[in-house]
């Protein structure tokens, strides 16, 4: 095993393509190829995805955040693993459950279904960016008041989705709620409370 | 009246009121840190290579390339050459690397060769003539029988006839007896002959026929007999936070573990034993957990793998959280259970006879044994169960183990019998409440309330909605029960001279409201606001509290907290009494003041009172159970009634739930708000498993076909209809003490919905989930086909 912080290539394994790029710092310039690529390790060829790490800059909650990321890294994983914004949850990791819902240029997206490199030059808002400091938003307060959460793992995604839904549906009917909040799943069964939140908070989200 | 007793309604400012959960704000703001969110500097990402075959033997394994890849920090072989693997997705090799992409590359670089062996994954009805299982009883079989309250003499007979394939030591036998196993059964275990477990070639394990009374005679003389087939397919727990654990070794002998678990106090021992280090050297931490439902009690193989990987990586933290497909495939499921049932009543509508042949699978260990007939102790019975061993990840406790399946089977059979007799099922059930034993009074209270909320009399019609049009509407009901006695729980309860209160307990809050209940009880007892209480849980260094399983937490943690709070209050009164020129027993703590009961004007504010303690805080230990501090503050044996109103489109087969009603008892309700949330959540989870959820295995490959969340479908917000919850409170209920609520309300929804569908369309759709294909097939074939 090699220490990734080593500046010199390991004499046993030789210089891999990725090591070379890391050492020489040319990562940014390489084309963004998304398919598997063969690199050499221990005298054998190994399929790896991505040509290596590139500098990715994201505008998250009004802050510019930069990290060296491989092109295959999703927006969700960048937020969670690189920027420690862990409010968005990784649950299905393939765009089915909504637990990773964030706002991208004001619209809800599943952060697990967006690549971090594709999220550059957009404005991302996560659950952590919805509230000012420790104060809760009206939607968050209503989630507490109506006990619209149990384990809480789906809750941040649901709050981002509900906030966006109420901003675009200031006076929703039950049918609007049924359709508008169908993109998120809860396992503990908190939908009754979430419906109450949507009805109680209408007109209070801009 | 004992001072420890739960206070009267007149003197409890917080207990029994609707109170928002105390960890609500931290959760809604996204600040709550779950195990999945643990992300310290230098964290290594762990990944696991899993077996792609449902049954295979590993013939060769080569990790050398992976080990030499840049960024790979440790490789740990979990199962090596020669090992036989019994289900797809089983763990073979673990890898730790600087980040997840690198770990994934390393997994792909590992070469494994397998000899693929035949697999069996079908839980279809077993053939007629299979031999009786005469193999020795495994520990799982034994505990299953006890869990399902199989009569002691039958357990003893099976132990003596078949022998046992495990060696219970005295510690185990003592624990068994303490948990309620009859001493005669314990003695049978002690003297049982040991036999190696046999890996018989047949996947079927058939129990001996259990007979009680004279079923043949009872059937022959019955006024009405109904026969049918019922059941529920395998489902998964589908916790939103997948299983996972992070390990780090601050020194060679000390470990810190972060884990998503329902069993914080029980993890260190399980981790320590295989590693050969003292359990006391392991600190286990968890603040929030994203669902468990019975599947998260152990560190599991992947958790132990993080311990090995971290050690090999020089002690750096290594975290493995299961990918969604692994979670669905190996991290727990609820066994399937199906049954052919014959049931009979006399002309007064009294249930007189029951006969069932049940079967199902829970993975390699076979299946659960459903407690049949459910709820009703029918006098004449004959029953037999066949557990099917299948090549899939093992069953784990799934919220109310075996009860939902038993309810679908039994309540379905009773509803069909009522239809045959042209009786309203509420009437048939009411006539048989004597058969429900000690809970008959509870059901008698609850049934009219549920019927009123559902407007049953107005809306119910005999079987088969005769109204025109393709959409048919119907009503159904079910009853359920569960134990729910509080588990063992210790807490340290500290009063500080500045008036602050600190409680430490190594428990966990699964989202049930555990934190909130403890805080309510403490604040209520001391007469101070909940904000004054600093509650510390989720750290194994705090006093031991039980695992959150079997609805045992609410009763356990509230009882230990109540005893501690009363003792702390007494000690405070002793210190404060001189200042108020009174005796300690003349004082009370109310509304933020410590005051003289007979002269409330003589008082000190809570803060002033605490300042009389001197410089040092005082700590007391609260316990449950604690015979020296009666009364018993928890209890067992709840009852609940649920009713469903559904619409079925007979052209598409789609079932929709219009309304559901749940009437539930859980003794003394500590927090009405979180209690109602539990019941509402159970109804929704029940709608989900009744209509959508199924773990589908491919007979050809032996693999799960829907290990994801787009084809393993959960109920969404559009699917739940209108839900009403009524909690039984007040006289007859409060004085029972606190009883757990997690399992009971999830038992009945499947049965109630299945019955409502039968009432709507006039035929039984035998098996859950009631998917459109099953509904259409039942309509076409007239119901009751095992092939569905």
Domains B9-19+486-624 and B35-119+243-321 share a fold: no
| pLDDT at position A21 | 36
Say if the Cβ atoms of A89 and B28 lie within 8 Å.
no
Which one of B29, B34, B692, B719 would you mutate to disrupt binding with A, by most A Cβ within 10 Å of its Cβ?
Answer: B29
Of B288, B323, B717, the CB nearest to A194: B717
C-beta of residue B173 within 8 angstroms of C-beta of residue B191: no
Measured between beta carbons, the chain B residues lying within 8 angstroms of A97 are 240, 709
The CATH classification number of B422-484+635-781 equals 3.30.365.10
pLDDT digits (tens, 9 = 90+) for A152-166: 999 999 999 999 999
Query: How close A174 comes to chain B (CA, Å)?
Result: 9
Q: Where do the structural domains in chain A lie, given as residue ranges?
A: 1-52, 54-130, 138-201
Confidence band, pLDDT 50/70/90 cuts, at residue A28 = very low
Determine, for residues A42 and B69 on separate chains, whether the beta-carbon distance falls below 8 Å.
yes
Shortest alpha-carbon distance between residue A121 and chain B (Å)? 24
Contact B680 A185 (CB under 8 A): no
Q: List phi, psi (to 5°) of B564.
A: -65, -40
Which residues have C-beta within 8 Å of that of residue B731, sequence separation ≥ 6?
A: none
Contact B631, B563 (CB under 8 A): no
Q: Considering only CA atoms, which of B485, B617, B486, B492 is closest in space to residue B544?
A: B492
Q: What ipTM score was computed for the predicted complex, to two decimals?
A: 0.93
> Considering only alpha carbons, which residue of chain A is nearest residue B324?
A92
pLDDT over threshold 90, residue A24 = no
Contact B105 A46 (CB under 8 A): yes
Give B73's contacts in chain A (Cβ within 8 Å): 1
Tell whether A18 lies on the interface with B, counting CB pairs under 8 A.
Answer: yes
Contacts of B323 in chain A (CB under 8 A): 93
Residues of A in contact with B262 (CB under 8 A): none
CB–CB of B677 and A147 under 8 A? yes
Instruction: Assess contact for A141 and A204: CB atoms under 8 A.
Output: no
**How do beta strands B655-665 and B44-50 pair?**
unpaired
How close B207 comes to chain A (CA, Å)? 35
pLDDT at A34: 44
B385 burial via Cβ count (<10 Å: 0-12, 13-18, 19+): buried
Instruction: Give pLDDT < 50 ranges for chain B.
Output: 786-788
CATH architecture of B35-119+243-321: Alpha-Beta Complex (3.90)
Q: Which of A47, A73, A177 sits opposite B101 (nearest CB)?
A: A73
The closest CB to that of A128, out of B30, B99, B511, belongs to B30
| Nearest Cα to Cα of residue B102 among A24, A72, A186, A101 | A72
Between CA B162 and CA B136 the distance in angstroms is: 5
Name chain B contacts of A13, Cβ cutoff 8 Å.
68-70
Nearest CA in chain A to B313: A1
A82/B contact by beta carbon, under 8 A: no
A86 to B37: CB separation less than 8 angstroms, yes or no: yes
Nearest CA in chain A to B292: A151
Of B31, B68, B323, the CB nearest to A1: B68
Distance from the Cα of B273 to chain A's closest Cα (Å) equals 29
The strand pairing partners of B338, in sequence order, are B231, B359
Contact at CB, A13 and B70, closer than 8 angstroms: yes
Of A87, A179, A193, the CB nearest to B30: A87
B105: chain A residues, CB-CB within 8 Å: 46-49
- Please state the pTM of the whole predicted model: 0.91
Neighbours of B316 (CB within 10 A): 21
CB contact under 8 A, B37 and A41: no
What is the reported pLDDT for A31?
A: 41
The answer to whether A164 contacts chain B (CB < 8 Å) is no
Residue with tokens 């018989």: B200
From the list A19, A149, A179, which residue is nearest B718 (CB)? A179
Fold annotation for A54-130: Ubiquitin-like (UB roll) (3.10.20)
Please give the pLDDT value at position B140: 74
What 3 state SS string does B143-195 have? HHHHHCCCCHHHHHHHHHHHCECCCCCHHHHHHHHHCCCCHHHHHHHHCCCEC
Whether A71 contacts chain B with CB within 8 A: no
Nearest CA in chain B to A46: B109
B-proximal residues of A, 30-59, CB under 8 Å: 41-42, 44, 46-50
Q: Which residues in chain B are closer than 8 Å to A8, comparing Cβ atoms?
A: none
Contact at CB, B20 and A147, closer than 8 angstroms: yes
Q: What CATH superfamily classification does A138-201 receive?
A: [2Fe-2S]-binding domain (1.10.150.120)
**For residue B202, what pLDDT is reported?**
83
Q: How far is the alpha carbon of A97 from chain B, nearest alpha carbon, in Å?
A: 7
Domain boundaries, chain B: 9-19+486-624, 35-119+243-321, 134-199, 422-484+635-781
Q: Three-class SS of residue A151?
A: coil
Average of pLDDT values for A174-189? 97
Q: Using a CB-CB distance cutoff of 8 angstroms, which residues of chain A are in contact with residue B709?
A: 91-92, 94, 96-97, 185
Contacts of A90 in chain B (CB under 8 A): 36, 321
Q: On the CB side of B374, how many CA atoms lie within 13 Å of its CA?
A: 28
Phi and psi at residue A145, to the nearest 5°: -60, -40
Among the partner residues B68, B685, B717, nearest to A182 by beta-carbon distance: B717
> CA–CA distance from B232 to each of B206, B536, B659, B753 (Å)?
19, 40, 22, 12
* Cα(B296)–Cα(B237) distance, integer angstroms: 10
Per-residue b/e over A158-197, b at no fewer than 16 CB within 10 Å? bbbbbbbbbeebeebeeeebbebbebbbbbbbbbbbbbbb
Is some CB atom of chain B closer than 8 A to the CB atom of A91?
A: yes
Of B291, B677, B718, the CB nearest to A153: B291
Place of tokens 């600093």: B534
Tell me whether residues A2 and B682 touch, CB distance under 8 A.
no
Contact A153 B101 (CB under 8 A): no
Tell me if A54-130 shares its fold with A138-201. Answer: no
Q: Name the fold adopted by B9-19+486-624.
A: Aldehyde Oxidoreductase; domain 4 (3.30.365)
**Given an 8 Å threshold on Cβ–Cβ distance, is B288 in contact with A151?**
yes
Quick check: A204 contacting B, CB < 8 Å? no
The mean pLDDT of chain A is: 84
């Amino acid at each position: 095993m090699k220490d990734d912080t080593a500046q010199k290539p390991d004499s046993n394994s030789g210089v891999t393509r990725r090591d070379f790029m890391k050492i020489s710092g040319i990562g940014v310039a390489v084309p963004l190829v998304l398919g598997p690529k063969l690199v050499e390790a221990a005298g054998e060829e190994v399929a790896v995805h991505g040509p290596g790490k590139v500098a990715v800059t994201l505008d998250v909650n009004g802050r510019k955040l930069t990290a060296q990321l491989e092109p295959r890294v999703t927006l969700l994983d960048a937020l969670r693993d690189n920027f420690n914004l862990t409010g968005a949850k990784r649950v299905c990791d393939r765009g089915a459950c909504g637990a990773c819902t964030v706002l991208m240029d004001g619209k809800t997206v599943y952060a697990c279904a967006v690549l971090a490199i594709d999220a550059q030059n957009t404005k991302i808002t996560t659950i952590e960016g919805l509230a000012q400091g420790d104060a809760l938003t009206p939607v968050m307060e209503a989630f507490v008041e109506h006990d619209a959460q149990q384990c809480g793992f789906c809750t941040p995604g649901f709050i981002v989705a509900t906030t966006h839904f109420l901003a675009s549906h200031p006076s929703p009917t039950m049918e609007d709620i049924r359709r508008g909040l169908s993109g998120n799943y809860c396992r503990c069964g908190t939908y009754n409370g979430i419906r109450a939140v949507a009805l109680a908070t209408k007109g209070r989200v801009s | 009246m004992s001072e420890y007793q739960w206070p009267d309604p007149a003197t409890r400012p917080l207990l029994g009121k609707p109170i928002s959960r105390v960890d609500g704000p931290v959760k809604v703001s996204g600040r709550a840190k779950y195990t999945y969110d643990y992300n310290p500097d230098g964290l290594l990402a762990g990944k696991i290579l899993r077996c792609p075959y449902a049954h295979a033997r590993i013939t060769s394994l080569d990790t050398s390339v992976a080990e030499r890849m840049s960024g790979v920090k440790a490789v740990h072989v979990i199962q090596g050459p020669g090992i036989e693997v019994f289900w797809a997705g089983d763990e073979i090799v673990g890898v730790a690397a600087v980040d997840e992409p690198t770990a994934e590359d390393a997994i792909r670089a590992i070469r494994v060769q397998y000899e693929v062996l035949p697999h069996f994954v079908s839980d279809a009805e077993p053939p007629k003539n299979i031999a009786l299982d005469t193999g020795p009883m495994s520990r799982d079989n034994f505990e299953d029988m006890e869990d399902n309250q199989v009569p002691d003499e039958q357990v003893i007979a099976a132990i003596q006839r078949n022998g046992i394939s495990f060696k219970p030591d005295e510690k185990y036998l003592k624990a068994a007896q303490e948990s309620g196993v009859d001493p005669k059964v314990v003695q049978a275990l002690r003297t049982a002959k040991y036999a190696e477990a046999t890996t018989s070639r047949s996947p079927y394990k058939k129990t001996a026929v259990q007979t009680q009374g004279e079923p043949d005679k009872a059937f022959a003389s019955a006024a009405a007999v109904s026969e049918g087939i019922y059941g529920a397919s395998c489902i998964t727990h589908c916790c939103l936070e997948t299983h996972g654990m992070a390990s780090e070794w601050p020194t060679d002998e000390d470990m810190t573990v972060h884990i998503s678990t329902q069993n914080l106090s029980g993890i260190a021992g399980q981790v320590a034993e295989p590693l050969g280090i003292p359990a006391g050297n392991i600190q286990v931490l968890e603040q929030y957990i994203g669902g468990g439902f019975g599947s998260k009690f152990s560190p599991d193989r992947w958790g132990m793998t993080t311990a090995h990987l971290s050690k090999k990586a020089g002690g750096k933290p290594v975290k493995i959280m299961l990918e969604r497909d692994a979670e669905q495939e190996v991290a727990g499921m609820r066994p399937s259970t199906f049954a052919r049932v014959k049931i009979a009543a006399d002309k007064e509508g009294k249930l007189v006879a029951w006969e069932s042949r049940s079967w199902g699978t829970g993975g390699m260990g076979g299946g659960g044994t459903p407690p049949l007939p459910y709820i009703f102790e029918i006098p004449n019975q004959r029953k037999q169960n066949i557990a099917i061993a299948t090549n899939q990840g093992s069953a784990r406790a799934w919220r109310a183990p075996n009860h939902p399946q038993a309810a679908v089977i039994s309540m379905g059979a009773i509803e069909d019998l009522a239809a045959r007799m042209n009786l309203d099922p509420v009437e048939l059930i009411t006539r048989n409440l004597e058969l429900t034993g000690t809970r008959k009074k509870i059901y008698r209270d609850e049934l009219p309330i549920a019927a009123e909320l559902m407007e049953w009399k107005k809306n119910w019609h005999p079987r088969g909605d005769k109204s025109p049009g393709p959409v048919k509407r119907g009503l159904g009901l079910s009853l359920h029960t569960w134990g729910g006695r509080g588990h063992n729980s210790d807490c340290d309860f500290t009063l500080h001279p500045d008036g602050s209160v600190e409680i430490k307990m190594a428990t966990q809050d699964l989202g049930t409201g555990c934190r909130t209940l403890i805080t309510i009880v403490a604040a209520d007892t001391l007469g101070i606001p909940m904000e004054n209480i600093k509650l510390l849980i989720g750290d194994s260094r705090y006093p031991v509290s039980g695992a959150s399983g079997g609805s045992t937490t609410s009763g356990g943690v509230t009882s230990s907290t109540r005893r501690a709070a009363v003792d702390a209050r007494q000690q405070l009164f002793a210190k404060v009494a001189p200042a108020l020129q009174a005796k300690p027993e003349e004082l009370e703590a109310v509304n933020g003041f410590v005051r003289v009961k007979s002269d409330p004007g003589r008082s000190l504010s809570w803060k002033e009172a605490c300042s009389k303690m001197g410089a040092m805080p005082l700590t007391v230990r609260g316990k449950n159970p604690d015979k020296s501090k009666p009364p018993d503050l928890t209890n067992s044996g709840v009852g609940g009634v649920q009713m469903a109103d559904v619409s079925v489109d007979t052209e598409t087969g789609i079932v929709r739930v219009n309304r559901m009603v749940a009437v539930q008892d859980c003794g003394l309700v500590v927090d009405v708000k979180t209690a109602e949330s539990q019941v509402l959540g159970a109804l929704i989870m029940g709608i989900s498993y009744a209509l959508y959820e199924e773990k589908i295995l491919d007979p050809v490959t032996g693999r799960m076909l829907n290990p994801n969340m787009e084809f393993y479908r959960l109920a969404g917000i559009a699917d739940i209809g209108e839900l009403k919850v009524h909690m039984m409170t007040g006289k007859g209920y409060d004085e029972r003490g606190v009883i757990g609520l997690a399992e009971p309300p999830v038992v009945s929804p499947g049965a109630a919905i299945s019955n409502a569908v039968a009432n709507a369309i006039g035929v039984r759709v035998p098996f859950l989930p009631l998917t459109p294909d099953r509904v259409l097939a039942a309509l076409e074939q007239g119901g009751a086909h095992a092939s569905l």
